[in-house]
Amino acid sequence: MKNVTLHLLNDTFNHHLDVENAIMEVVKLDWEDAIAATTIAHMNGSYPVFEGSQEEAEKIKLKFEELGINTQITEVDGEPF
């Protein structure tokens, strides 16, 4: 099974605190890493928050979707746009 990357996508409707909390809840990053991920996604348009099996990435993507957070799955090292 191939590995993929799950990218957090920047958006204009979620508050950064909600996104940070979602990151901590879903992918278990600590608070400082969640802040960094949110900031980088805001500045660059996306940030990779998970790399692993496609099956696991799809499960994580669904959890983010339930929280209203946009993500995208790409091939490893692939760009989300």
Task: Confirm whether pTM is higher than 0.75.
Answer: yes
Given the candidates 1.25.40.10, 3.30.1390.10, 3.40.50.2300, 3.40.50.10470, the CATH classification of the domain at 3-75 is 3.30.1390.10
Q: Give the residue-averaged pLDDT of 46-54.
A: 96
In eight-state DSSP terms, residue 77 is: T
Note the pLDDT of residue 1. 64
Query: Cα–Cα distances in Å, from 15 out to 18, 20, 72, 77?
Result: 5, 9, 19, 27
Per-residue model confidence as pLDDT tens digits over 7-26: 999 998 899 999 999 999 99
